[in-house]
Chain A
């Protein structure tokens, strides 16, 4: 209990820091002028996602009566850059990321067969998500840099009470840390 609280406060401290100064300078893509920012020249087009929680198809217009179902989400990408987006209740966090050019892979297309959409959820919103099903936990076990607030993006369905949620992409690939950081074994 104490351990998880400690991890959670450490995470929120990091996130607070990130909010103050998104650190593009540590990202090699930025240094090489290869950062394409939030709008990417080569994004996955909105695909029909077969999620374990039902089929969801993208549409991109909104009408007045749907405004109260708007959910604001901030993605924090691997360079620390903040990408605020507006979603609608019922949307899926992986699909939303693709729609806005956020660099979150979804190799198995939301079918709980990989861990490439691994994200960290802001702690106050993490509590509000429904418990992961066993299959999600099984896949999370394979993700590098697993934390207390880790979830698979494809399993996060947006609801109004998640307004303001921040989803941070792990700053790491298995061998190459974007900021040169070497993690202690988990």
Chain B
């Protein structure tokens, strides 16, 4: 009886919802809601289809009911680091893709994939076609360690390693050699911990994720049993967050192996720490003290106060067989503590070296100012320096740190500033701008094949289909050409 009433209630709600959506569709068709065809509203172009791009678009669409936003992305597929950076065993973090999908499907938003801004179309051409352009293209480069031997086989940037197991086309040929026992990771941020975790995670767990098949096979045959995660400074300066540390501590069949000397004086400093730092340090100390099951065949550990000075090559000089580290002492305390050299050195044998010391933005177009020292586009609260109508959001604006939530807040900031400028008349909205119409025509004459969001939907459906036959959520195609063929 109650069941029937509930079913009728649900049916009633569903009917109401259908009615509403039918009504709104009629409204749109009658031009009651301004669509892309009537062009008297502001047109904004966003360069980069990752979290920064989509969150900026979301805010712009929300704040101005007459704004049209177009997102341009170099790859045929959207979502940037959410797709190619977030670890395969963190699927919940990728849920944000649903929010971005809603934005892309919004009637005043359009996605244009496979467009290389700077090469296929210039920033100046975009600025002519739009009232405002927002740069959200992130950081595709890599900070180098600047030490000899860095280019030897066996040494990789974390960015490339992560791109490899996440299916980024430019990293598909990486083929890291995983036949050594020890891997050393330089850097102690969340990316470093992701890499360590993927190297040591049980294959049974990885094979149910969207990790690429070739990476899965390589990891299944991996001989890596020990991962050291090295940082310049001490435990109180570590850059990772507690969730990732906890995942290391809880990794099955592994134990923690740290040096008690690295933790001298830390217990006394605990009580004055702010909550996040305190909880993180307590967990680290607990792991250092308890270690774990001695019978565990795999181990990991932090090594503090150490900076890389040279990659050591084997007898034939052909590949990395170790790394030379300089021992540091700390000057000052807290977040601003500095590492100073002591002159002491330490050699560690290892066959895999992964440098995880930061991503880096690169200039996209000579018309855009770029600060090579900080590797960002110089800006004031998101307004690009000396360039009216040009804005930036995300890592290219603030530098390559922070989680998705950080980028979200930052993108909202830029959108607010852009809206302010519109309202204050700093952008001339009285002149009609052609927007995507003009750019699409231009790209066509240049033989560039744009991928629309509906075509991405075909790609993702194919990925899910392929994944299903392998027991995974999806299997990503590794080639841009293959993506274009499916689209």
Complex CA–CA separation, A142 to B244 (angstroms): 12
Cα-based distance from A141 to B329 in the complex (angstroms): 28
Task: Please encode chain A, from 132 to 160, with 1 for each CB lying within 8 Å of some chain B CB and 0 for all others.
Answer: 00110111011110100000000000000
Whether A44 sits at the interface, judged by CB under 8 Å, is yes
Min CB distance, B378 to chain A, in Å? 16
Instruction: Give the residue of B106, B246, B410 whose beta carbon is less than 8 angstroms from that of A138.
Output: B246
Chain A positions 76 through 113: 1 when the CB is less than 8 Å from some CB of chain B, otherwise 0: 00000000000000000000000000000101110111
Task: Out of A111, A114, A176, A185, name the residue touching B403 (CB < 8 Å).
Answer: A114
Given A114-B403, A186-B274, also A138-B62 (CB < 8 A): no
State whether the Cβ of A10 lies closer than 8 Å to any Cβ in chain B: no
List A contacts of B410 (CB < 8 A): 173-175
Asked if B242 contacts A141 (CB within 8 A), the reply is: yes
User: Could you tell me the distance between the alpha carbons of A23 and B402 in the complex, rounded to whole angstroms?
Assistant: 31
A-side interface size class = 35 or more
In the complex the two chains form, is A175's CB within 8 Å of B98's CB? no
Contacts of B446 on A, CB cut-off 8 Å? none
Given known A-B contacts A34-B64, A138-B243, A176-B381, A107 and B96 have beta carbons under 8 A apart = yes
B-contact 0/1 string along A163-186, CB 8 Å cutoff: 000000000011110000000011
Q: How large is the interface on B (under 10, 10 to 19, 20 to 34, 35 or more residues)?
A: 35 or more
Known: A32-B423, A59-B10. A40 touches B62 (CB 8 A): yes
B58 partner residues in chain A, CB cutoff 8 A? 42
> A44: which of B99, B246, B416 is its contact (CB, 8 Å)?
B99
Whether B62 pairs with A32 at a CB distance below 8 angstroms is no
User: Which of A59, A173, A174, A175 is in CB contact (< 8 Å) with B9?
Assistant: A59
With known contacts A108-B93, A139-B243, A175-B413, A63–B9 Cβ distance under 8 A: yes
- Interface: A25 (CB within 8 A): no
Picked from B10, B92, B279, the residue with its CB within 8 Å of the CB of A113 is B92
Residues of B contacting A40 in the complex (Cβ-Cβ under 8 angstroms): 62
* B407-427 Cβ-contact flags toward A at 8 Å (1 or 0): 011101100100110010000
Name, among B274, B280, B405, the residue most crowded by chain A CB atoms within 10 Å (CB to CB). B405
Dominant secondary structure of chain A at its interface with chain B? loop
A102 to chain B, nearest CB (A): 13
B29 at interface (Cβ–Cβ under 8 A)? no
Which of B13, B274, B403, B423 meets A61, CB within 8 Å?
B13
CA distance A176 to B413 in the complex (A): 6
- Is A18 close to B, CB under 8 A? no
In this complex, what residue of A is CB-closest to B416?
Answer: A28
Minimal Cβ-Cβ distance residue in B for A60: B13
Partner of B61, one of A28, A42, A139, A176: A42
- Does chain A have a CB within 8 A of B65? yes
| Given A60-B13, A111-B92, residue A41 in contact with residue B62 (CB < 8 A) | yes
Across-interface contacts of B419 in A (CB, < 8 A): 32, 34
> In the complex, what distance in Å separates the CA atom of A144 from the CA atom of B61?
25
Contacting pair A111 B279 (CB below 8 A): no
Residues of A with C-beta under 8 A to B95: 107-109, 111, 113
Beta-carbon nearest neighbor of A62 in chain B:
B9
Inter-chain CA distance A138–B420, complex, in Å, is: 35
A113 to B275 alpha-carbon distance, docked (Å): 19
How many Å lie between the Cα of A106 and that of B243 in the bound state? 18
Complex Cα gap A61–B9 (Å): 7
Is chain B's binding surface mostly helix, strand, loop or mixed?
A: helix
Q: Is residue A47 within 8 Å, beta carbon to beta carbon, of the partner chain?
A: yes
Q: Are B408 and A105 in contact, CB atoms less than 8 angstroms apart?
A: yes
A116-136 vs B, Cβ < 8 Å mask (1 yes, 0 no): 100000000000000000110
A41 to B27, CA, bound (A): 14
Q: 0/1 per residue, A20-36, Cβ < 8 Å to B? A: 00000000110011101
A115 part of interface (Cβ distance < 8 Å): yes
- Decide if B260 is an interface residue (CB 8 Å cutoff): no
Whole-angstrom distance between the alpha carbons of A142 and B412 in the complex? 18
Q: How far is the CA of A135 from the CA of B250 in the complex (A)?
A: 13
Is B90 on the interface with A (CB-CB < 8 A)? yes
Nearest chain A CB to B472 CB, angstrom units? 19
**Contact indicator B409/A175 (Cβ below 8 Å):** yes
- Interfacial chain A residues near B92, Cβ < 8 Å: 108-109, 111-113
| Least Cβ–Cβ distance between A179 and chain B, in angstroms | 13
Residue of B nearest to A144 (CB): B409
Min C-beta distance of B195 to chain A, whole Å? 19
Contacts of B90 in A (CB 8 A): 113
> Contact between A28 and B420 (Cβ–Cβ < 8 Å)?
yes
A28-B59 Cα distance, complex, nearest whole Å: 14
State the Cβ distance, B8 to closest chain A Cβ, in Å: 9
Q: Is B271 an interface residue (CB 8 A)?
A: no
Q: Write out the residue numbers on chain A whose beta carbons fall within 8 Å of the beta carbon of B265.
A: none
If A42-B61, A47-B98, A109-B95 touch, whether A114 touches B276 (CB-CB below 8 Å) is no
* Contact in complex: A146, B13 (CB < 8 Å): no
Does B470 sit within 8 A of A, measured CB to CB?
no
B142 at the interface (CB under 8 A from A): no
Per the bound structure, the CA–CA distance linking A141 and B240 in Å amounts to 12
A-B contact pairs, 29 of them (CB 8 A): A28-B416, A28-B420, A34-B63, A34-B423, A36-B63, A59-B9, A60-B16, A61-B12, A63-B5, A105-B408, A108-B93, A109-B98, A112-B92, A113-B92, A114-B96, A116-B405, A134-B246, A138-B241, A138-B243, A141-B241, A141-B276, A142-B241, A142-B276, A146-B276, A173-B413, A174-B409, A174-B410, A176-B413, A186-B275
Interface residues of A, Cβ cutoff 8 Å to B: 28-29, 32-34, 36, 40-42, 44, 47, 59-61, 63, 105, 107-109, 111-116, 134-135, 137-139, 141-144, 146, 173-176, 185-186
Across the A-B interface, give the 7 residue pairs with the lowest CB-CB distance, nearest first.
A111-B92, A141-B276, A173-B409, A113-B92, A109-B95, A107-B96, A176-B413
A61-B9, A109-B96 are known; give 9 further A-B pairs, CB within 8 A: A32-B423, A60-B13, A60-B16, A105-B408, A141-B241, A141-B279, A142-B276, A173-B412, A186-B274
